Chains A and B, each alone.
Chain A
Amino acid sequence: MTLTAARPRNMWGVTDNPSPNLYIPMVAIVDEIIDETPDTKTFRLSFQDKEYAKTFDWEPGQFVEVTVFGAGEAPIGFASSPLEKSFFELTIVDRGKVTRAMHRLRKGDKVGIRGPLGNCWPLEEMKGRDVLIVSGGCGLAPLRPAILQMLADRASYGDFWLLYGARTPADRDFVYDLESWAARDDMHLLQTVDVPDDKWNDNVGVVTILFDKMRLNASTAVALICGPPIMIKFATIGLQRMGFTDDRIVMSLERYMKCGVGKCGHCCVNHVYLCTEGPVFTYKDLLALPELKL
């Protein structure tokens, strides 16, 4: 069986739009702000229009365009569980103009949301298989919905491995999740940091060193990857060595993006628009895009 990235049930602009036109966002309210790391916060949001909130249906791997009023719009992946219907979370690093403005928001402030956008992780097709998740830094955020959805349906999947690498112990996102996942006996969590602190007594090094410490059936398992470009590159090489075929290495890509609906042209890689045809691709799909120089 060949795995491909999955088409989502819902996509802003393709399926029904509540907004009068697809460039005008829906209003959401910041219900809670969670500090993850010194430069990362998780924003818990819910729609002002409660009727719309009920119909808002998205899948792990998809993203939204979030408008910080007065600053602009930026694409951010969902970071919460899709099973949670009353709110959704976005985990945002303070990096650019819009994300900086986002970090200045307080509880009760309003933002604009256009979404869900993009395709999703092939969680349905992965049922019955072993799962390996490789993430680095803030790359855990777009994978968290997939992890939470699979753990909620744990019996449908085989062995479950989660590898997570960060720069330092303090740069780890979702520490509260990592602690609860470490305590579970139906999954394996391996963590590593590049630079340890005094209290760190776990692995030290890049995330790929964890490949030697695990055991799974690489001839049928599926790997989901998200992280910085250099991590994706070496993780892919490691997975191929382990025996993963290119169609079972699935990753989420990012590009500078404006419209989110396949028109502005910024996120194009060769002839593929990441915003509508991605952001999730199998490595096999990506080999058809020479610009990536894989």
Chain B
Amino acid sequence: MNVGDTLALKKSDLAMFFASLAHEMRLVAPKRRFGGDVIFDVVESPTQIAWDYGHDIYPPKRFVLPHYEDLFGYRADGEVRFEDLGEAPMQAIVGIRSCDVTAIRFQEKFFSSQIVDPYFKARSDNTVLFSLVCNTPPKKECFCICCDAGPYLDSGFDVELTDLGDRLLYRIGSEKGLKASEPGGHMLAPADGEDRAERKRIELEADSLFATEAYLAKAILFISADEVPDKIWEELGSTCFRCAACTNLCPVCTCYTVDDRREDDGSCVRCRSWDSCQYAGFTREASDHNPRPTFGSRVQRRFYHKASYQYITRDGRHGCVGCGRCVSACLTKLDLPSVVKRIRRSMEEYLQPLPSGEVRP
């Protein structure tokens, strides 16, 4: 077995294969809960993996960047003592979609650029991503195809699985993926020409099934050049509830806040938790001065981070993977495809000559 190999895994061996892997690391996978909801969670047995889950609303990013994470504890009575509380369990995220794989790779790059974040790095180093190609129809909100993040990947996965009916196509994408393939390696057989042809057919079919489109290019131009007037941003922002569902459910968003929590025994724990640029308090200073005081300025901030050349240059790609979760979550359509469309349309209207024949500055 080598990195780059394309293999096949019989579905009848699937549970056994991941049971072998479970001896080495914990399995995080789509898990069906009471009532039928599916969410990524730690599974005790591979039989709990809901392979047919479709898409989930809560991204698996919380297994590399937890919603709430203890960084270190300290006691400051007398001698100051620190205790690193960082945890980085060995884990395989099984069944993760291509968009979420792309998002985690984006975060890995961000957390390692310039200065390396030790907590994120430890977690992501110990995480193996088994991505699952979307050959079931995408949900109606999905637009990964516009964001170079799915429905299947060329690279970025550790292992990629494609459902071929009675078997899975099994591609090894990295050293980490190769190592995680070893425990159940005897169950993997070389893929034949028919398997590859079937995969090609699935790719073409998957590409044709999308209902949502996000033509980002024009919006990126307007946003990067700061040509969208404040008036349009304020109109967009005027319907924001400040609930932060968009950024919390975004698999790419990484912003966090830091707090010191007092424990009953007198010690303290410094912890970090997800924060959102959509909250007014995100930039409010101790003097009460807020450099981003309006809903419009905060919505502008979010889209500048998601779709500007300045950030594309920094991060190597734009900050959206097209998972469609903001489309499902936002009550007032401040999701990426809608906003991109509205910026395009508003700018078209805004740039029309005025009735007097004058052109707006």
Q: A259-B258, A265-B275, A265-B277 are in contact. Are A23 and B76 (CB under 8 A)?
A: no
B257 touches A258 (CB 8 A): yes
B44 contacts which chain A residues (CB < 8 A)?
none
Q: For the complex, what is the distance from the CA of A103 to the CA of B53, rounded to whole Å?
A: 55
Give bound CA distance, A17 to B285, whole Å: 29
Knowing A70-B76, A264-B258, A265-B255, the reply to whether A24 touches B82 (Cβ < 8 A) is yes
Residues of B within 8 A of A265 (CB): 254-256, 275, 277
A254 at interface by CB-CB < 8 Å: yes
Closest residue of chain B to A293 (Cβ to Cβ) is: B230
**Number of A positions contacting B (CB below 8 A):** 39
Interface residues of A in 253-269 (CB under 8 A from B): 254-256, 258-259, 261-266, 268-269
Residue of A nearest to B83 (CB): A24
A289 to chain B, nearest CB (A): 9
Instruction: Give the shortest distance, in Å, between A227 (CB) and chain B (any CB).
Output: 13
A44 within 8 A of B: no
Contacting residue for B270 out of A23, A254, A269, A290, CB 8 A: A23
Q: Does B304 contact A (CB under 8 A)?
A: yes
Residue B241 at the chain A interface, CB threshold 8 Å: no
Q: Are B118 and A22 in contact (CB-based, < 8 A)?
A: yes
Q: Which residues of A contact B257 (CB under 8 A)?
A: 258, 264, 266
Does A6 reach chain B (CB closer than 8 Å)? no
Taking CB atoms, residues of chain B closer than 8 Å to A262 are 113-115
* A27–B268 alpha-carbon span in the complex (Å): 15
Task: Choose one: A229, A255, A263; the contact of B117 (CB below 8 Å).
Answer: A263
Most buried by B among A229, A254, A256: A256
Residue of B nearest to A71 (CB): B260
The complex places the Cα of A270 from the Cα of B291 at a distance, in Å, of: 12
CB within 8 Å for A95 and B287 given contacts A21-B118, A23-B71, A264-B255: yes
Q: Is there a chain B Cβ closer than 8 Å to A248's Cβ?
A: no
Closest Cβ neighbor of A14 among chain B residues: B115
A70 in contact with B260 given A256-B283, A266-B283 (CB within 8 Å)? yes
Judged by a CB distance under 8 angstroms, whether B289 is at the interface is yes
B287-316 contacts to A, CB under 8 A, are 287, 289, 291-292, 297, 300-301, 304-305, 308, 310-311, 313-314
B115 — nearest CB in chain A belongs to which residue?
A13
Roughly how many angstroms separate A70 CA and B80 CA in the complex, as a whole number?
12
0 or 1 for each of A1-44: is its CB under 8 Å from B? (1 = yes): 00000000000011000001111100100000000000000000
B275: contacting residue among A20, A264, A291, CB under 8 A: A264
Does more than half of chain B's interface fall in helix, strand or loop, or is it mixed? mixed
- Whole-angstrom distance from the CB of A69 to the nearest CB of chain B? 3
> Which residues of chain A have C-beta atoms less than 8 A from B82's C-beta?
20, 24
Docked-complex contact B283 and A22, CB < 8 angstroms: no
| Chain B, Cβ-Cβ closest to A65 | B258
Beta-carbon nearest neighbor of A253 in chain B? B291
B345 proximal to A (CB < 8 A): no
Contacts of B304 in A (CB 8 A): 270-271, 291
With A263-B117, A271-B310, A276-B115 known as contacts, the answer to whether A69 contacts B74 (CB < 8 A) is yes
The chain B residue sitting closest to A100, CB to CB, is: B286
B184 at the interface (CB under 8 A from A): no
Minimal beta-carbon separation of A161 from chain B (angstroms): 28
Contact partners of B277 in chain A: CB under 8 A? 265
Tell me if A172 counts as interface (CB < 8 A to partner B): no
Whether the Cβ atoms of B114 and A14 lie closer than 8 Å is yes
B80 contact from A14, A72, A110, Cβ within 8 A: A110
Tell me which residues across on chain A come within 8 A of B114, comparing CB atoms.
14, 262, 276
List B10-34 residues whose CB lies under 8 Å from chain A: none
Q: Which positions 92-137 of chain A face chain B at CB distance < 8 Å?
A: 95-97, 99, 110, 112
Across-interface contacts of A73 in B (CB, < 8 A): 258, 260, 270
Residues of B within 8 A of A72 (CB): 258-260
B115 to chain A: which residues have CB within 8 Å?
13-14, 22, 261-263, 276
Asked whether B119 is an interface residue with its Cβ less than 8 Å from the other chain, the reply is yes
Q: Which residue of A lies closest to B314 (CB)?
A: A271
Closest to A261 in B: B115
Query: Can you report 28 residue pairs joining A to B where beta carbons are below 8 Å apart?
Result: A14-B115, A20-B82, A20-B84, A21-B84, A21-B86, A24-B71, A24-B84, A27-B80, A48-B80, A69-B74, A69-B268, A70-B268, A110-B80, A112-B74, A112-B80, A255-B283, A256-B282, A258-B257, A261-B117, A262-B114, A263-B256, A266-B255, A268-B301, A270-B308, A276-B114, A276-B115, A290-B226, A291-B291
